[in-house]
Amino acid sequence: MSENRYWKSVEERDSSLPRAGRSESEAPVALPIDRRGFLKASGFTVAGTLLVGCSRKPVEKAIPYLVQPEEIVPGRATWYASTCGGCAAGCGALVKCRDGRPIKLEGNRDHPFSQGGLCAVGQASLLGLYDSQRFSGPQLAGRQSGWDEVDQAVTGRIAEVTASKGRVRLLTDTVTSPTEQRLIDRFLRQFSDAKHVVYDPLSSSAILDAHQTTHGLRVLPRYRFGRADVIVSFGADFLGTWISPVEFTTDYRSGRNLDGDSPRLSFHAQLESRMSLTGSNADLRVILDPAEEGLALGRLAEKVAELAGTAYPGFAGTSSSVLEEATLDDLAERLWQARGRSLVVSASQSSRQQVLVNYLNQLLGAYGATIDLERPSMQRQGNDIALAELADELARGSVDLLLIQGVNPVYDLPLPGLAKAVEEAPFVVSFAASLDETAARADAICPEPHFLEAWGDCEAVAGVVSIAQPAIRPLRDTRSMMESLSVWLGEPKSALDLIQECWLEEILPRTSALSFRSFWDHTVRDGSALIAAEALEVSPFVISAVEPLGSVGQDEHFTLELYPTIGLLDGRHAHNPWLQELPDPVTKVTWDNYASLSPVAAADLGVGESDVVRLEVPGEQSFELPVYVQPGQHDRVVAVALGYGRLGTDRFHTAGPKWLQSKPTVDAGATVGVNAAPWTTLGKEGRGYRRSGVKVIPTGRTYDLASTQTYHFLSVPEKLAPTDGQDRPIIQEAVLEEYLEDRSAGAPHLHHFESDLWGEHEFDVHHWAMAIDLSACTGCAACVVSCQAENNVPVVGKDEVERRREMHWIRIDRYYRGDPTAPDTVHQPMMCHHCDNAPCETVCPVIATLHSSEGLNMQIYNRCVGTRYCANNCPYKVRRFNWFDYAHDDKLENLMLNPDVTVRDRGVMEKCSLCVQRIQEGKIVAISEGREVADGEIQTACQQSCPAQAIVFGDLVDPESRVSKIFGDPRHYVIFEELNVRPSVGYLRLVRNRPAITAGHVTEEQEDSHHG
Amino acid sequence: MARTAWPLREPLIAGDKTPAQVTIDISRPLEGRATPLWWAAFLVSLTTLFVGMVAVSYQIKTGIGTWGLNRTIGWSFDITNFVFWVGIGHAGTLISAILFLLRQRWRTSVNRAAEAMTLFAVMCAGIFPIIHMGRPWLAFWVLPYPNGRGPLWVNFRSPLLWDVFAISTYFIISAVFWYVGLIPDLATLRDRTKPGLRQRLFSFFSLGWNGALSVWNRYETVYLILAAALATPLVLSVHSIVSFDFATSVLPGWHTTIFPPYFVGGAIFSGMSMVLTLMIIARKTMRLEDYLTIRHIDTMTKLVLATSWMVAIAYATEFFVALYSGNELERFVFLNRAMGPMAWSYWIMVCCNVLVPQIFWFRRMRRALPVVFVATILINVGMWFERFVIITTSLHRDFLPSSWASYTPTLIELATLAGSFGLFFTCFLLFCRFLPMIAMAEIKGVLNAHLKPAHGLEVAEVEVEAETEPIAARSVVGGLEEVQT
Amino acid sequence: MSSRHFVSIFLDEDSTFGAVLELRKAGFKIREVYAPYAVHGLDRAAGLPRSRIGFITVAAAAIGSLAFYFFQDWVHAVDWPLNIGGKPYSSAPAWIPVVFETGVLFAGLATVLALFVRSGLYPGKKAKLIDPRITDDHFAVVLDILDSGFDTDQVLRICNRHGVGAVEEIEVPSKNVKRPTSDIATLEVWR
């Protein structure tokens, strides 16, 4: 054998060597190299080393753990129970960490009220952790600084103020952390004139005030939708954005459960003036003139009182013009019949209306049944009256030390003077984590860590305490407020110490636990604990407080409804690209807010989609917004979303690909959307989100909205409808009555396939499948963001969305059905159907997509050449194509990519994989434990976080699995069965709780009134 | 002269040419300098080609996103252009093969150019399936070559793969067919050009052709086989297979059994029109009026009229089937085509493909060159839109209304389309300049065809003659004697 | 050894046709005819048999088709069976288009190749021409003088009757043909 030839392995070099056994193959062998060969080799090595040395490429250090933490196994995820800090609701969250990096947030099944659900905002708040624009450290007078300097400045100021007995005000949003509250009290105690002002940008203050009047207790009761058989909601978007959506959705769902032999479907009526997510799920939706909300409430109260046999205090309001008596009578009847099992809620910010609501609930015996006052909610504690006072003080410039945490008053309060006032205030301390409108005007900024970086605690509902534990070393030089306060109090302690101290003294006594250690450890492990709630003394219902309400005078102008969106809420997440690109569950518009008008109103004004209109209130700043035509909205209402127009959102100028004809997501220096907060009101009545007398004036200009769905009806445009009119059997629905008689009610008559042209492929080991219950799904879009986080789905920017190229693997189709001015709405999650006879697979020329032996439709990215034929041939249009090289250049954000999922290259097709990485993980775990995969053990990302548990995933081979049972359920159907593509994803028919006449398939005159 | 004294038919070639004259006439464009008109045309096409190349390179560098496609409409301009060019490519083989079979001897004037046109059109067509890929640099993955990926072959169930085979076979066979037909003419040129590079090239490619009858004998057989046995079924198969791209899918508006004949008909229709357009240009610019006579134009317009009815019937059938099938989705697609947001494209198609050709019912129209010229161009516009309608309108509103989308082409796409025309005309103009665009050897064969009895007859009698008395044969010879004396 | 050929040049199709017919009737063996274009029936008249290239075409077509039928089946059913769109591994109907195309491809190439081989045509071959005008408009009928029963006078008579352009007697010492020197001038003398 030749002497100077290179060889890859000892075996290759000398075939006589035994191939078996490592030890043998590693046996030392004489190198077959002569002197010349050796010189050659060494010469090359030296030269090579020199060359490498010369190159000036940056040195990428990969440093292994010096001391391997035993809980971190490379390639294996570690989970921490924590509490979501996305909003004040305080849902339980599980943090999935890979190699010490949080890469996914999921709901915590063991959490008392969120029960495993986690909303879109919660899911997306993970991205906030890796936000490259967070403060890297404390700031003093607008420049980078150190903690010592800042502390000196603050403590110095504190000294002055205490000396001069000056005014100290701490402005925060709802504080649910006992420890924080404790620190705040202690901190403020040292001043002679100190006040802690709490306000919620999305205020429910009126409810608390109303209970102050009726129950002598300023408290936000905990609504138990699950216990209610009849729910009447006046504009409360409790499934979407109101107070604690995940909790409410989970609870609501438990009251609407068709599984098993005794189906239960609560009746839900929504009386609202704009189309909210909750309204879109209601069994009965009444479009209410906002001016007559009080009136309607009063009339309902009167009727219920009648039924209750008590006298309705005061006179009966004049008959409402919009609401027929019949509807009201029906509602009253239903409420009364279900007394003790019925609930009335209202999002109104008028405490007089809220008093009426309390009165109704009192009559219906809701208190103690569907309304919990023993364990009230702490999720909204804002007091707008106090806020108004503070505003005056600030205006007068009489606040000597102002500390602001968790809120952005300059942005979200309707006080033009505030910005100046804050600037001029002697000393303002902000705890903002990144630059916002208020922090920009603060003297000192003490940035708080992201909730995934720090210890925290929370009592969102009385008696439900939960822990937030750090899942990663702080990425920035930050300090939570309680730590700062403790420093300024002169007794610096770490958050952990402070919390444990507080828990030892305040929480432990409320438990039966023997040792603090064990209680603490259990709570940290589980994330939460149920403890006794402080007893509240509720005074008997003050009937005298009830006063009747008439109709507010309505002029010919519009009423402006300001509402939060699922994604952006009050705007605190406006810097989160996932949420910006998350289609609104109802309008499906991304990246902008807009003026929603009813079809009639739009027609009257002669404007259409994306025409720009100017909203004017005499003597106030006017706004220009593009129009969105929203069926089901009141004709005299214009609805605008809050939370947009945040400072610094022009960072998304660079979002999405750049090319010849691309348009930026937002112009440089501009903001995403328009800030409508200046039009909220703040006065004696507290904060208001409604303005009457608004003029809507067409400007003649247009502005394109980026929507992920541009055709909204289930039936094709009327003029194109074949003779019999076409209502595609995509959504199958029935009403409760029908369903109770016949479980397969609502099924259209379609061809069924007895035999096939060819034999089927057998799936003998596993056959993964998914079922989605349309009766449960509320369309809250938690699954969309969950999937985005799990599968490294890129953000593509407004222009690409406008070109219909969004990349979400799971989308939620929202269809209207029936009368276009007041349609039924339905939400349908849509992802790859993993058809057994997949049309996409047959047409791929290079076998880049094919079927696995477990019934999965697999996409092989590195084989795909991108003909897009598969996408064309997909009946469900769920395939997504990488039109460009989508940006993954934010190094910090990349830390959050899921290492189990490939980041896709330009020019390849991608789509839902049913979270194949999770399936594999589940199988590996099962194998390593020498057992079969248990049903429900493997959960897809979308399924895991669904607050309504609408999604079931499992193995069809196992006849006992839930999904197998559901596939056998008469309510189960697949879309376009007649195509015989045999989808592995099916749906459970939508069942509405309403009389048979109005429901089911579209009636004739509804069909006629369709427009495309 | 006696010969013209009793013409049996209108002569195929005007101007009473002798074979020598034919040689001179047809070689003229190759030997003289190029006309200014030619230069103008050439520069224009070259520029367009360049524009197209820039567009394509930009698209490949930046991504397919530079096209107006989206998640609902995965194909539009790209495959429309592909099918359009393949269609154009059909007339060439049709004229040379099928007309040859049908003994349509007027074909001899046009078949050479038509075949060249086929080649160039197929080249243009072939570009699109490659550049429409998300990762064109991996296009070779559609070829079944041995590899280390399993080995992972290709999916022979995919119509796209059938296309790969159909188009490449079609291109190769057409090229061979064209070249074989070219050999005798190359020999002619070889023997009349003065020594030099061109002469050497001619003699290299004319394979030492010396007109020996023994070779002519085989040559004729081979030509017949290529035409009859291979090219004819091939030309029918190729567009059928192209139509399978759509016919075998599940998409309403694509999933249609009448597509193969419908596409073939359409292809011939558009191809014929394109030949006509080119012929009308060529006979002017190349001064070949005697060879591309009004009679040729007339005959071809008749074919165009016939094929226009084929497509018209196809359109009607589609609607009928949609209606009759009772399939809601199917019905909707067709109503949507005619009345939906993209109805304009549908009506352009109908006007150009069904209404415009009807003027060819009138002899005067058939023989009025400007009319024919404009009409044929309109027809090709219409045929482009036919493919656009089929592909785009079917996609833009399919199964789930939630996914309905619309489509507008980007500058890049428009430039690419233009570029493909640039390529086509550049190639064609070069061909006119450097190769005989009319088959001399075949023209010479039919110079006085109109003076002769039908061929089949003659051949038959000669065969008889082989063993017994050649009565008929003698009479032929005798007849000639009379003419000569 | 060298052979001697009698070459008669004709100026048009018909006279060539006539001459060939009569020469053969008179029992002369036509060695070769050179023509600028294919004269239908002339080959039969000169006693050339039908070409049998067609068989090659059929064979090649069969080979191409069968090869690719089995290749496709092997790829999908044997080499690596994959579940694609729930179709059976060996889905014969889907193989048909490729089978057809490859059949045609093989057949076409084989046929043309056969033509070139049988006729000894290849790129760059030096043409052996009886007369440079053959590829333009002249015809040439070649007879073998050394043939038994070759009669110059009778041949001349026949050729003359059919208006021969020129006749020529050429030596073919080895394979390559000497270019004839005759032109129209000498023809006049001949008449």
> Is A842's CB within 8 Å of C88's CB?
no
C-alpha–C-alpha distance, residues B472 and B253, integer Å: 60
> Is C87's CB within 8 Å of A847's CB?
no
> Among A916-930, B130-144, B388-402, B457-471, which is the least confidently predicted range?
B457-471
B192 contacts in chain C (CB < 8 Å): 135-136
Residue A322's pLDDT is 57
Residue B76 has pLDDT above 70, yes or no: yes
Strand partners of residue B299: none
> What average pLDDT does this structure show over A257-269?
86
> Is B158's CB within 8 Å of A869's CB?
yes
* pLDDT tens-digit map of A626-646: 999 999 999 889 999 999 999
Mean pLDDT of chain A: 86
Residue B4's pLDDT is 38
C12 contacts in chain B (CB < 8 Å): 19
Residue A33 has pLDDT above 80, yes or no: no
Between the alpha carbon of residue A258 and those of residues A89, A959, A991, the distances in Å are 28, 21, 9
Other beta carbons within 10 Å of A340: 13
> What average pLDDT does this structure show over C132-160?
82
Residue B121: pLDDT band by 50, 70, 90 thresholds?
A: very high
- Quick check: A775 and A258 in contact, CB under 8 A? yes
C-alpha–C-alpha distance, residues B383 and B312, integer Å: 12
* pLDDT tens-digit map of A39-92: 777 777 667 665 555 555 555 666 666 777 777 777 788 889 999 988 888 899
C 64-93 → A contacts, CB under 8 A: 82-88, 91
- C-alpha distance from A777 to closest chain B C-alpha (Å): 17
Residue A988 has pLDDT above 50, yes or no: yes
**Residue of C115, C118, C161 to mutate for B, most B C-beta atoms under 10 A:** C115
pTM, 2 dp: 0.87
- Residue with token string 């607050």: A947
Does any CB of chain A come closer than 8 Å to the CB of residue C148?
Answer: no
C-alpha–C-alpha distance, residues B86 and A447, integer Å: 66
Residue B466's pLDDT is 37
Q: Between C82, C86, C88, which is nearest A838 by CB?
A: C86
Residue A64 burial (10 A CB sphere; 0-12, 13-18, 19+): exposed
Q: What percent of chain C has pLDDT over 70?
A: 88
User: What chain A residue is nearest to B131 in terms of C-alpha separation?
Assistant: A867
Residue B410 has pLDDT above 90, yes or no: yes
Residue A313 has pLDDT above 90, yes or no: no
> Is B222's CB within 8 Å of C95's CB?
no
> Is B332's CB within 8 Å of A981's CB?
no
B13 token code pair: 């070639």
**Residue of B170, B218, B226, B444 to mutate for C, most C C-beta atoms under 10 A:** B218
> Is B157's CB within 8 Å of C87's CB?
yes
B 144-173 → C contacts, CB under 8 A: 144, 150-157, 161-162, 165-166, 169, 172-173
> What average pLDDT does this structure show over B216-241?
87
- C-alpha distance from B187 to closest chain A C-alpha (Å): 44
Element (H, E) at C6: strand C3-10
Residue B461's pLDDT is 39
> Is B207's CB within 8 Å of C17's CB?
no
Residue A917: pLDDT band by 50, 70, 90 thresholds?
A: very high
B12 token code pair: 């195929």
> What average pLDDT does this structure show over B261-271?
89
> Is A841's CB within 8 Å of C84's CB?
yes
Residue C153 has pLDDT above 90, yes or no: no
Residue A598: pLDDT band by 50, 70, 90 thresholds?
A: very high
> Is C82's CB within 8 Å of A847's CB?
yes
Residue A565: pLDDT band by 50, 70, 90 thresholds?
A: very high
Residue C188: pLDDT band by 50, 70, 90 thresholds?
A: very low
DSSP A367: B
Residue B136's pLDDT is 92
- Quick check: A117 and A107 in contact, CB under 8 A? yes
- In the chain, the amino acid numbered A29 is V
Closest by alpha carbon to C43, among B320, B214, A92?
A: B214
Q: What percent of chain B has pLDDT over 70?
A: 89
> What average pLDDT does this structure show over B365-372?
89
Residue A53's pLDDT is 53
A574 token code pair: 């406006």
Between the alpha carbon of residue C171 and those of residues A471, B150, C147, the distances in Å are 104, 67, 14
> What average pLDDT does this structure show over B294-309?
89
Coil, strand or helix: which one is B127?
A: helix
Higher-pLDDT residue of B173 and A29 is: B173
> Is B154's CB within 8 Å of A976's CB?
no
- Residue with token string 């065809």: B449
Other beta carbons within 10 Å of C152: 12
Between the alpha carbon of residue A964 and those of residues A124, A836, A852, A977, the distances in Å are 32, 16, 19, 18
- Residues in CB range of C58: below 8 A, 6 or more apart: C107
**Residue of A710, A850, A877 to mutate for B, most B C-beta atoms under 10 A:** A877
Residue A726's pLDDT is 66
- Quick check: B334 and B253 in contact, CB under 8 A? yes
Q: What percent of chain A has pLDDT over 70?
A: 90
Closest by alpha carbon to A451, among A703, A83, A738, A106?
A: A83
Other beta carbons within 10 Å of B9: 10
Does any CB of chain A come closer than 8 Å to the CB of residue B445?
Answer: no
Mean pLDDT of chain B: 84
Instruction: Give me Rg for the CA atoms of chain B.
Output: 25
> Among A336-345, B151-160, B214-223, C42-51, which is the least confidently predicted range?
C42-51
Residue B329 has pLDDT above 80, yes or no: yes
- Quick check: B233 and C104 in contact, CB under 8 A? yes
C-alpha–C-alpha distance, residues A573 and A451, integer Å: 14
Residue A723: pLDDT band by 50, 70, 90 thresholds?
A: low
Residue C8: pLDDT band by 50, 70, 90 thresholds?
A: confident
B322 contacts in chain A (CB < 8 Å): none
> Is B213's CB within 8 Å of C135's CB?
no
Does any CB of chain C come closer than 8 Å to the CB of residue A840?
Answer: yes
Does any CB of chain B come closer than 8 Å to the CB of residue A871?
Answer: yes
Residue C43's pLDDT is 81
Q: Between A660, A803, A907, which is nearest B70 by CB?
A: A803
> Is A761's CB within 8 Å of C86's CB?
yes
Give the chains touching A; criterion: ≥3 Cβ pairs < 8 Å. B, C
Residue A233: pLDDT band by 50, 70, 90 thresholds?
A: very high
Between the alpha carbon of residue B323 and those of residues A92, B243, B317, B330, B392, the distances in Å are 56, 22, 10, 8, 21
**Residue of C76, C83, C98 to mutate for A, most A C-beta atoms under 10 A:** C83
Q: What values do phi and psi take at A607, rounded to 5?
A: -120, 160
C72 contacts in chain B (CB < 8 Å): 156
Q: Between B139, B152, B405, which is nearest A710 by CB?
A: B405
Coil, strand or helix: which one is A559?
A: strand
Residue A391's pLDDT is 87
> Is C82's CB within 8 Å of A836's CB?
no
Torsion angle, alpha carbons of A575, A580, A582, A583, to 10? 160
DSSP A992: E
Residue B322 has pLDDT above 90, yes or no: no
Residue A698's pLDDT is 92
> Among A796-810, A959-973, B290-304, which is the least confidently predicted range?
B290-304
> What average pLDDT does this structure show over B187-209?
88
> Is A804's CB within 8 Å of B340's CB?
no
Question: How many Cβ pairs closer than 8 A exist between chain B and C?
Answer: 230
Q: What percent of chain A has pLDDT over 90?
A: 43
Residue C103 has pLDDT above 90, yes or no: yes
Give the chains touching C; criterion: ≥3 Cβ pairs < 8 Å. A, B
Q: Between B154, B191, B222, which is nearest C111 by CB?
A: B222
Residue B194's pLDDT is 83
Does any CB of chain C come closer than 8 Å to the CB of residue A64?
Answer: no
> Is A850's CB within 8 Å of C84's CB?
yes
User: What chain C residue is nearest to B439 in terms of C-alpha separation?
Assistant: C37
* pLDDT tens-digit map of A644-659: 999 989 989 988 889 9
Q: Between B71, B161, B401, which is nearest A871 by CB?
A: B71
Residue A725 burial (10 A CB sphere; 0-12, 13-18, 19+): middle
B65 contacts in chain A (CB < 8 Å): 657, 659, 800, 803, 805, 883-884
Residue A554's pLDDT is 62
Residue A773 has pLDDT above 50, yes or no: yes
